[in-house]
Structures are given as C-alpha cells and as structure tokens.
Amino acid sequence: MSGKIYYNGNIVDRENAKVDIEDRGYQFADGVYEVVAFYHGEPFTLNEHMERLVFSASEIDIELPPAEILIKEAKNYIKETEYADKNAKLYVQVSRGVASRSHAYPDGMEPIIIMKAGPLDPNPEKYFQEGVKIITLPDERWSRCYIKSIALLPNILAKKKAKKAGAYEAIMTRDGFITEGSSSNIFIVEDETIITPPATNYILNGITRQTVINRLAPELNYEVKEESIPYYTLLNTDQVFLTGTTTEIMPVVQINDKVVGNGKVGKETKEIFEAFRELTGFVRGK
C-alpha cells in the first residue's frame, strides 16, 4: 500500500495514515464525503464538490474550513501524488473526529479531513457505447439523502444486488416514484425533453446531474424538466441514462428484464454523453 495521503493539512505516506478506533467516522459512520474526478491532472467541478462537502458537513453540525481553502489543499495534494498529470479520482472524507464512544458527541470536536487519490478506473467503453442494465429496488434509506453521508449501508447492499443480477446499477423507488441510483442520478428522455426527479431531500443533488441540467442540455437546446417520475413511466420510456462522477453519462438499455426503447442508445443520450466527454477533455487510454 504505497502512495500519499492528505491527513488534516499534512501529506503523509499511506502506511502512516491511521484511523483511531474511537474515530466517530469508524464507529458511527459520523461523517461526510466527496468524490472528485481529475482529467489529466485538471480538477473537474472541484469547486462545486467542495462547496457541497462544506454544506453536507454543516447539515450534520460539523464546521469545516471554507471551500476555497479545501480547493487549494486538494489541488496541492494531487500535485504531490503520482496522479499529478493523470486521470484520477479524489476521495475526500470528513469525520467528526475522535471521542470516547457515546451517541451524543461532545461540543468543540476537531473534524478529521483526509484525501486519497486513486485511478479514475473508467468504465469499459462498451458500456458507454451500447448501454447497461439496471435493476429496481425499494429505497430503504433515510429522509436526508441530500447529505453526502458516509453512512452508505443501503447503497452498498443495493449495488451488490445489482452486480449479482449482472446489472450496472440499482435504481431505488419510493412511494411509486423513482429517486436515484445507489451512486448515481437518473434521467429519462421523452419527446426530446430531458426529465429527472427534482432535487428534494430524497436524492443527492449530483454535480454531474447539475452539469447536465445547467450546461449540457441548454448547450444542446434541450428542455429540462425536474419532475417526479413514476416507476411505471420509467419502465415505459424510450431513453434512460445515469449520471455521476465516476459513472459519467451512462446509457441504460435494460431495466430488470425489460428492454428500454429499441434497446439502442438514443440520440439525445448520445449527444449528452458526447458533450460531457468534450467538456471533461477525457481521452481514453491516456
């Protein structure tokens, strides 16, 4: 286990980055996180990710340094790693800190911020070109999914079920409507309009989701609607795609046992995928 880790302002060797057994992140999943993509050493939407990190932390009563400081720290850290000019995935985690185990945390705790760079591990090109399968499952999470919490048990169990079913992702449903994937947001396309569930407390307002809504769709002159999508609409729509930092723009061609549309990646989905690639400057194989 080699490599460098950012640990509360210091850059240390991987083997010296240790978690205290009374770290509340370890004992209670008491913390928040972000995953940021770097393309050829250049951060993609780093500001948005760090702003969301500070917001998630404040929603659980953890005060972080301002986003501008975290942005600088992340950029400096990446430069010190083997990923300085490569495609990379930056994991940033905040734990409330270390205290003797008790549900109610003491006042004035010092949060612990770590960052770890790793390979971006792109999905196989075939997935993007031909589309993937998803499964659907009941959403068993809490009602504050807009916080990017490290408490991810329902998400990891859902993802594992998807993998076992030979699917890329599990999409969750709540009260007859779809919410999001275990680690992605979902969009459908109907009559050239891009539709995605609204950013309520029941989903994470993904940065890639926001990139599609605020940048890519307007650039391509597509109308976007943020409205609740019934489960049955999802099953009967012609185009579906997922968004996420590591998922990027992922076309879906099968839901459970049902083929989506004609089973091929649709025009609007393809255009959004290509516009995203252009925006990130991502070149496969580099």
Ligand X SMILES: Cc1ncc(COP(=O)(O)O)c(C=O)c1O
Catalytic residue numbers, as ranges: 148
6 and 88 Cβ atoms separated by less than 8 Å: no
Instruction: Give me the 130-169 binding string for ligand X, x by CB under 6 A, dash otherwise.
Output: -------------------------x--------------
Q: Which stretch binds ligand X (CB under 6 A): 17-25, 95-103, 163-171, 177-185?
A: 177-185
Q: How far apart, in whole angstroms, are the C-alpha atoms of residue 175 and residue 166?
A: 26
Least Å from the CB of residue 204 to ligand X: 4
Instruction: Give me the 253-272 binding string for ligand X, x by CB under 6 A, dash otherwise.
Output: --------------------
Size of the site for ligand X (CB under 6 A): 14
Can residue 196 be called a binding residue for ligand X (CB under 6 A)?
no
Can residue 206 be called a binding residue for ligand X (CB under 6 A)?
yes
DSSP state of 105: P
203 and 145 Cβ atoms separated by less than 8 Å: yes
Site for ligand X in 14-53 (CB under 6 A): 35
225 and 231 Cβ atoms separated by less than 8 Å: no
Q: How far apart, in whole angstroms, are the C-alpha atoms of residue 20 and residue 150?
A: 17
Least Å from the CB of residue 264 to ligand X: 25
Can residue 209 be called a binding residue for ligand X (CB under 6 A)?
yes
Can residue 280 be called a binding residue for ligand X (CB under 6 A)?
no
214 three-class SS = helix
149 three-class SS = strand
| Sequence-ordered alpha helix ranges (H) in 143-285 | 153-164, 207-211, 217-219, 231-235, 267-280
Least Å from the CB of residue 110 to ligand X: 26
Can residue 185 be called a binding residue for ligand X (CB under 6 A)?
yes
27 three-class SS = helix
Helices (H) and strands (E) in the chain, counts: 9, 15
Please report, as ranges, the residues that interact with ligand X according to CB under 6 A. Answer: 35, 155, 180, 183-185, 204, 206-209, 243-245
